[in-house]
Structure 1
Amino acid sequence: MSDLKVVLHVSEADRWHAALGNLANLTALDDQPAVRVVVNGSAVYVLQGQHDWLGHMAKAAAKGVTFQVCQNSLKAHDIEPGTLPEWATTVPNGVLALAEAQQGGFAYIKP
């Protein structure tokens, strides 16, 4: 695995298409970087229900991508953390998670 670390920030539901394209490209690399996705804002809505985008996210998670979901955004959008897919973890604050990732050497990408 590459020494490169990438954090994708998805904060709007309509940006998932671009984020999923980025994830597909990153996870297809022979020397795949460490990839983290921080989800907040209206983007949390996409983690509900059943649809093909969740399948793409699950495949990325199976390849080592971590998904961190902001608890503040879940609360603001009346979403129970227990309804998230099993591969998604919650963090108390998405913005703080982004800052910590950057402090830890992750390159910030906003699809």
Structure 2
Amino acid sequence: MSDLKLVLHVDQADRWPAALTNLANLTRDYPDADVRVVANGAGVYAFLGDTDLLGKMRQASEHQVRFEVCANALHEHAIDPGQLPDWAQVVPAGVVALAEAQQGGYAYIKP
């Protein structure tokens, strides 16, 4: 299904394991799918440090999954955008990124 477009929304840190399982299945079973992940709220904490979650995110990014991190959430949680991995893109507002994705034909998934 090459026209499959999905946006996963992670706004809670404890939802990352489910999201990453979804991503592993998607990249394995639908390698041509267009997949984005928008992180906001407490979901932005997963981009810090050196964790197994980050390793799985990096692996997904190597399969063309785009990770978008809300600038507002970073500010709210006093996280410097310079601390993010180079494969994570900062977007001005996570909720707007979600709305734009849905307007662009992406199916919304909340793991």
* 1:89 partnered with 2:93: no
Deviations along 1:55-80, one digit per CA (max 9) or x if unpaired, are 10001000000000000000000000
| Other-structure match for 1:37 | 37
1:11 Cα deviation from its structure 2 partner: 0.2
Deviations along 1:12-57, one digit per CA (max 9) or x if unpaired, are 0000010000000000015531000000000101100001110100
DSSP 3-state at the match of 1:79: coil
Cα distance in 2, alignment partners of residues 31 and 17 from structure 1: 20
Instruction: Structure 1: give runs of 5+ residues left out of the alignment.
Output: none
Cα distance in 2, alignment partners of residues 42 and 31 from structure 1: 29
1:6 Cα deviation from its structure 2 partner: 0.2
| Other-structure match for 2:15 | 15
Instruction: Structure 2: give runs of 5+ residues left out of the alignment.
Output: none
Moved over 6 A (4+): none
The 5 Å alignment of 1:1-111 reads: 2-111=2-111
Greater CA drift, 99-108 or 29-38: 29-38
| TM-score of the two chains, using structure 1 as the length reference | 0.97
Q: 2:31–2:63: 8 Å Cα contact kept in structure 1?
A: no
Q: 1:26–1:32: 8 Å Cα contact kept in structure 2?
A: no
CA RMSD in angstroms comes to 1.0
1:2 Cα deviation from its structure 2 partner: 1.1
DSSP 3-state at the match of 1:35: strand
How many residues in Structure 1 have an aligned counterpart in Structure 2? Answer: 111
Q: 2:37–2:65: 8 Å Cα contact kept in structure 1?
A: yes
1:86 Cα deviation from its structure 2 partner: 0.8
Cα distance in 1, alignment partners of residues 56 and 87 from structure 2: 12
| TM-score of the two chains, using structure 2 as the length reference | 0.97
